[in-house]
Amino acid sequence: MGWIKNIIFIIVLLTQIIPAQRAAASASSTAENEILVFGASAAYRTVSIAAKVAGNVEYMPFAEGDYIKSGEVVLRVEKTDYELQVALARTQVERAKIALDQANLEFSRLNELVKSNSASVQMKDNALYAKLSAQANLATAVASLKIAENMLNNAEICAPMNGFVSVKHREPGDYADKAKPVYDIVDLDIIKANLKVPELLISEIKKGDKINISVDVYPDETFSGEIYELSPVGDPLTHFFKVTALIKNTEHKLKAGMFLKALIKTDKK
Protein backbone atom coordinates (compact mmCIF):
# COMPACT_ATOMS: atom_id res chain seq x y z
CA MET A 1 0.00 0.00 0.00
CA GLY A 2 2.98 2.29 0.49
CA TRP A 3 3.69 2.55 -3.25
CA ILE A 4 0.08 3.68 -3.84
CA LYS A 5 0.52 6.51 -1.32
CA ASN A 6 3.76 7.54 -3.08
CA ILE A 7 1.99 7.69 -6.45
CA ILE A 8 -0.85 9.77 -4.98
CA PHE A 9 1.67 12.17 -3.43
CA ILE A 10 3.49 12.61 -6.78
CA ILE A 11 0.18 13.31 -8.58
CA VAL A 12 -0.83 15.92 -6.00
CA LEU A 13 2.61 17.52 -6.20
CA LEU A 14 2.44 17.76 -9.99
CA THR A 15 -1.03 19.32 -9.90
CA GLN A 16 0.43 22.12 -7.78
CA ILE A 17 3.77 22.60 -9.55
CA ILE A 18 2.60 22.53 -13.18
CA PRO A 19 0.04 25.39 -12.81
CA ALA A 20 2.63 27.39 -10.89
CA GLN A 21 5.18 26.91 -13.68
CA ARG A 22 2.62 28.01 -16.28
CA ALA A 23 1.79 31.10 -14.23
CA ALA A 24 5.48 31.87 -13.87
CA ALA A 25 5.89 31.63 -17.63
CA SER A 26 3.07 34.12 -18.17
CA ALA A 27 4.35 36.48 -15.45
CA SER A 28 7.06 38.39 -17.20
CA SER A 29 8.62 41.76 -17.85
CA THR A 30 6.59 43.20 -20.70
CA ALA A 31 8.88 46.20 -21.00
CA GLU A 32 11.97 47.57 -19.32
CA ASN A 33 9.92 49.02 -16.47
CA GLU A 34 6.71 46.94 -16.45
CA ILE A 35 5.98 43.52 -14.97
CA LEU A 36 2.90 41.54 -15.95
CA VAL A 37 1.41 39.38 -13.17
CA PHE A 38 -1.93 37.89 -12.25
CA GLY A 39 -4.00 37.59 -9.10
CA ALA A 40 -7.40 38.07 -7.52
CA SER A 41 -9.29 40.92 -5.90
CA ALA A 42 -10.31 41.02 -2.24
CA ALA A 43 -12.22 43.38 0.03
CA TYR A 44 -10.13 46.02 1.77
CA ARG A 45 -11.60 44.91 5.09
CA THR A 46 -14.36 42.66 6.34
CA VAL A 47 -16.27 43.27 9.57
CA SER A 48 -18.49 40.77 11.35
CA ILE A 49 -21.40 42.47 13.12
CA ALA A 50 -22.43 40.47 16.18
CA ALA A 51 -25.34 40.72 18.58
CA LYS A 52 -24.28 42.37 21.84
CA VAL A 53 -27.17 40.83 23.77
CA ALA A 54 -29.08 37.62 23.17
CA GLY A 55 -32.68 37.58 21.99
CA ASN A 56 -35.11 36.91 19.18
CA VAL A 57 -34.38 38.97 16.08
CA GLU A 58 -37.13 41.56 15.62
CA TYR A 59 -35.60 43.75 12.91
CA MET A 60 -32.92 42.83 10.40
CA PRO A 61 -33.74 44.63 7.15
CA PHE A 62 -30.72 44.15 4.89
CA ALA A 63 -30.13 41.28 2.46
CA GLU A 64 -26.91 39.96 1.00
CA GLY A 65 -25.59 42.43 -1.55
CA ASP A 66 -27.28 45.45 0.04
CA TYR A 67 -25.22 48.57 0.71
CA ILE A 68 -25.24 49.78 4.32
CA LYS A 69 -24.18 53.20 5.51
CA SER A 70 -22.31 53.72 8.76
CA GLY A 71 -24.72 54.35 11.65
CA GLU A 72 -27.74 52.63 10.08
CA VAL A 73 -29.62 50.22 12.35
CA VAL A 74 -28.90 46.71 11.12
CA LEU A 75 -30.25 44.60 13.97
CA ARG A 76 -32.80 44.85 16.75
CA VAL A 77 -33.65 42.06 19.14
CA GLU A 78 -36.83 42.00 21.21
CA LYS A 79 -36.49 44.57 23.99
CA THR A 80 -39.27 43.59 26.42
CA ASP A 81 -37.07 41.64 28.87
CA TYR A 82 -34.40 44.35 28.83
CA GLU A 83 -36.96 47.09 29.38
CA LEU A 84 -38.29 45.19 32.40
CA GLN A 85 -34.75 44.85 33.77
CA VAL A 86 -34.30 48.61 33.47
CA ALA A 87 -37.60 49.23 35.27
CA LEU A 88 -36.59 46.84 38.06
CA ALA A 89 -33.16 48.47 38.39
CA ARG A 90 -34.74 51.94 38.65
CA THR A 91 -37.01 50.71 41.43
CA GLN A 92 -34.00 49.33 43.28
CA VAL A 93 -32.26 52.70 42.95
CA GLU A 94 -35.29 54.46 44.45
CA ARG A 95 -35.44 52.00 47.34
CA ALA A 96 -31.71 52.48 47.96
CA LYS A 97 -32.19 56.26 48.03
CA ILE A 98 -34.98 55.93 50.59
CA ALA A 99 -32.82 53.64 52.74
CA LEU A 100 -29.94 56.11 52.58
CA ASP A 101 -32.20 59.02 53.56
CA GLN A 102 -33.39 57.01 56.52
CA ALA A 103 -29.83 56.08 57.51
CA ASN A 104 -28.72 59.73 57.26
CA LEU A 105 -31.62 60.81 59.44
CA GLU A 106 -30.90 58.14 62.04
CA PHE A 107 -27.21 59.01 62.14
CA SER A 108 -27.97 62.73 62.58
CA ARG A 109 -30.44 61.96 65.38
CA LEU A 110 -28.02 59.72 67.27
CA ASN A 111 -25.20 62.20 66.78
CA GLU A 112 -27.25 64.83 68.64
CA LEU A 113 -28.26 62.34 71.32
CA VAL A 114 -24.62 61.43 71.94
CA LYS A 115 -23.82 65.12 72.47
CA SER A 116 -26.43 65.27 75.22
CA ASN A 117 -25.35 61.89 76.66
CA SER A 118 -28.76 60.44 75.74
CA ALA A 119 -27.26 57.72 73.52
CA SER A 120 -24.07 55.68 73.57
CA VAL A 121 -21.15 56.10 71.22
CA GLN A 122 -21.73 52.50 70.14
CA MET A 123 -25.23 53.40 68.95
CA LYS A 124 -23.80 56.31 67.00
CA ASP A 125 -21.15 54.04 65.43
CA ASN A 126 -23.82 51.52 64.44
CA ALA A 127 -25.78 54.31 62.80
CA LEU A 128 -22.67 55.40 60.92
CA TYR A 129 -22.06 51.88 59.65
CA ALA A 130 -25.70 51.68 58.56
CA LYS A 131 -25.29 54.97 56.70
CA LEU A 132 -22.13 53.78 54.93
CA SER A 133 -23.82 50.50 54.03
CA ALA A 134 -26.79 52.39 52.58
CA GLN A 135 -24.40 54.52 50.51
CA ALA A 136 -22.74 51.37 49.14
CA ASN A 137 -26.13 49.81 48.37
CA LEU A 138 -27.14 52.92 46.45
CA ALA A 139 -23.90 52.87 44.45
CA THR A 140 -24.50 49.18 43.62
CA ALA A 141 -28.07 49.89 42.55
CA VAL A 142 -26.96 52.78 40.33
CA ALA A 143 -24.32 50.56 38.70
CA SER A 144 -26.92 47.82 38.12
CA LEU A 145 -29.19 50.40 36.48
CA LYS A 146 -26.41 51.51 34.15
CA ILE A 147 -25.74 47.89 33.18
CA ALA A 148 -29.44 47.29 32.49
CA GLU A 149 -29.69 50.49 30.43
CA ASN A 150 -26.57 49.50 28.48
CA MET A 151 -28.06 46.09 27.71
CA LEU A 152 -31.26 47.76 26.53
CA ASN A 153 -29.28 50.08 24.27
CA ASN A 154 -27.32 47.10 22.92
CA ALA A 155 -30.53 45.43 21.80
CA GLU A 156 -30.15 47.69 18.75
CA ILE A 157 -26.98 47.50 16.65
CA CYS A 158 -25.78 50.06 14.09
CA ALA A 159 -23.36 49.50 11.22
CA PRO A 160 -19.77 50.48 12.17
CA MET A 161 -18.83 51.38 8.59
CA ASN A 162 -20.07 51.71 5.03
CA GLY A 163 -20.10 48.44 3.16
CA PHE A 164 -21.93 45.65 1.38
CA VAL A 165 -23.54 42.71 3.13
CA SER A 166 -21.56 39.65 2.07
CA VAL A 167 -23.17 37.15 4.45
CA LYS A 168 -26.41 37.31 6.44
CA HIS A 169 -26.31 34.79 9.26
CA ARG A 170 -29.77 35.36 10.79
CA GLU A 171 -33.30 36.33 9.75
CA PRO A 172 -36.14 38.05 11.64
CA GLY A 173 -37.62 35.53 14.06
CA ASP A 174 -34.33 33.69 14.57
CA TYR A 175 -32.62 33.64 17.95
CA ALA A 176 -29.39 35.65 18.06
CA ASP A 177 -26.75 34.59 20.56
CA LYS A 178 -24.58 37.19 22.23
CA ALA A 179 -21.29 37.74 20.35
CA LYS A 180 -22.39 35.54 17.42
CA PRO A 181 -22.18 37.18 13.95
CA VAL A 182 -25.40 38.28 12.29
CA TYR A 183 -23.88 40.09 9.28
CA ASP A 184 -20.54 40.13 7.49
CA ILE A 185 -19.90 43.50 5.81
CA VAL A 186 -17.18 44.14 3.24
CA ASP A 187 -15.63 47.49 2.43
CA LEU A 188 -15.27 47.77 -1.35
CA ASP A 189 -14.42 51.48 -1.51
CA ILE A 190 -10.86 50.21 -1.80
CA ILE A 191 -9.98 46.87 -3.34
CA LYS A 192 -7.00 44.73 -2.48
CA ALA A 193 -5.23 43.18 -5.45
CA ASN A 194 -3.57 40.02 -4.19
CA LEU A 195 -0.92 39.15 -6.76
CA LYS A 196 1.44 36.22 -7.16
CA VAL A 197 4.93 37.21 -8.31
CA PRO A 198 7.63 34.68 -9.26
CA GLU A 199 10.82 34.89 -7.22
CA LEU A 200 12.80 35.87 -10.34
CA LEU A 201 10.83 39.12 -10.53
CA ILE A 202 10.19 39.93 -6.87
CA SER A 203 13.45 41.88 -6.50
CA GLU A 204 12.23 44.36 -9.12
CA ILE A 205 9.13 45.36 -7.12
CA LYS A 206 8.99 47.69 -4.13
CA LYS A 207 6.36 49.32 -1.97
CA GLY A 208 4.83 52.37 -3.68
CA ASP A 209 5.25 51.11 -7.26
CA LYS A 210 2.32 52.13 -9.46
CA ILE A 211 0.06 49.44 -10.87
CA ASN A 212 -2.65 49.20 -13.52
CA ILE A 213 -5.32 46.54 -13.13
CA SER A 214 -7.61 45.15 -15.80
CA VAL A 215 -10.48 42.65 -15.50
CA ASP A 216 -12.34 40.68 -18.12
CA VAL A 217 -15.75 42.15 -17.22
CA TYR A 218 -14.51 45.67 -18.12
CA PRO A 219 -12.19 45.02 -21.08
CA ASP A 220 -11.87 48.70 -22.03
CA GLU A 221 -11.13 50.04 -18.51
CA THR A 222 -8.01 50.24 -16.39
CA PHE A 223 -7.95 50.69 -12.62
CA SER A 224 -4.94 52.35 -11.02
CA GLY A 225 -3.33 51.82 -7.64
CA GLU A 226 -0.03 51.15 -5.96
CA ILE A 227 1.84 48.39 -4.16
CA TYR A 228 1.55 48.64 -0.39
CA GLU A 229 2.64 45.23 0.89
CA LEU A 230 5.21 42.62 -0.13
CA SER A 231 5.35 39.35 1.73
CA PRO A 232 8.90 38.51 2.90
CA VAL A 233 8.13 34.77 2.72
CA GLY A 234 7.43 32.94 -0.53
CA ASP A 235 5.72 29.63 -1.17
CA PRO A 236 8.50 27.00 -1.01
CA LEU A 237 6.61 24.76 -3.42
CA THR A 238 5.66 27.23 -6.17
CA HIS A 239 8.34 29.91 -5.46
CA PHE A 240 5.75 32.65 -5.71
CA PHE A 241 5.57 35.68 -3.42
CA LYS A 242 2.40 37.46 -2.42
CA VAL A 243 2.31 41.14 -3.39
CA THR A 244 -0.67 43.31 -2.47
CA ALA A 245 -1.81 46.55 -4.08
CA LEU A 246 -4.60 48.94 -3.16
CA ILE A 247 -7.02 50.11 -5.85
CA LYS A 248 -9.51 52.96 -5.40
CA ASN A 249 -12.99 51.64 -6.16
CA THR A 250 -15.44 54.43 -5.32
CA GLU A 251 -17.86 53.34 -8.05
CA HIS A 252 -17.76 49.76 -6.73
CA LYS A 253 -17.18 48.28 -10.17
CA LEU A 254 -14.61 45.84 -8.84
CA LYS A 255 -15.91 43.03 -6.63
CA ALA A 256 -14.03 40.73 -4.30
CA GLY A 257 -12.93 37.48 -5.93
CA MET A 258 -12.37 38.77 -9.49
CA PHE A 259 -9.47 37.52 -11.62
CA LEU A 260 -6.98 40.34 -12.18
CA LYS A 261 -4.28 41.10 -14.71
CA ALA A 262 -1.78 43.61 -13.40
CA LEU A 263 0.99 45.71 -14.93
CA ILE A 264 3.41 46.85 -12.22
CA LYS A 265 5.48 49.88 -13.14
CA THR A 266 8.95 49.63 -11.62
CA ASP A 267 12.05 51.85 -11.55
CA LYS A 268 14.13 49.25 -13.38
CA LYS A 269 16.32 50.86 -16.03
CATH number, domain with residue 178: 2.40.50.100
Q: Are residues 168 and 70 in the same domain?
A: yes
Q: Look up the domain containing 102 and give its range.
A: 80-153
pLDDT at 61: 95
Q: Are residues 52 and 178 in the same domain?
A: yes
Q: Are residues 90 and 217 in the same domain?
A: no
pLDDT at 17: 41
Q: Is residue 253 part of a domain?
A: yes
Domain of 124, CATH number, reads: 1.10.287
pLDDT at 216: 93
Q: Are residues 66 and 107 in the same domain?
A: no
Question: What is the per-residue DSSP string for 194-251?
Answer: EEEEEHHHHTT--TT-EEEEEETTEEEEEEEEEEEEE-S---TTT-EEEEEEEEE-TT
pLDDT at 75: 97
Q: Are residues 215 and 242 in the same domain?
A: yes
Q: Are residues 238 and 130 in the same domain?
A: no
Q: Are residues 28 and 140 in the same domain?
A: no
Kindly give the confidence (pLDDT) of every residue in the chain, 269 residues in length, as a single tens digit, with 9 standing for 90 and above: 555 444 443 444 344 444 444 444 445 555 457 889 999 999 999 999 999 999 999 999 999 999 999 999 999 999 999 999 999 999 999 999 999 999 999 988 888 887 888 878 888 888 889 999 999 999 999 999 999 999 999 999 999 999 999 999 999 999 999 999 999 999 999 999 999 999 999 999 999 999 999 999 999 999 999 999 999 999 999 999 999 999 999 999 999 999 999 999 887 65
Q: Are residues 198 and 258 in the same domain?
A: yes
pLDDT at 110: 83
pLDDT at 28: 52
Q: Is residue 89 part of a domain?
A: yes
pTM to 2 decimal places: 0.74
Q: Is residue 3 part of a domain?
A: no
pLDDT at 127: 85
Q: Are residues 72 and 84 in the same domain?
A: no
Gyration radius of the chain's alpha carbons: 33
Q: Is residue 198 part of a domain?
A: yes
Q: Is residue 16 part of a domain?
A: no
Q: Are residues 98 and 226 in the same domain?
A: no
Domain of 243, CATH number, reads: 2.40.30.170
Domain count, the chain: 3
Q: Are residues 55 and 176 in the same domain?
A: yes
pLDDT at 13: 39
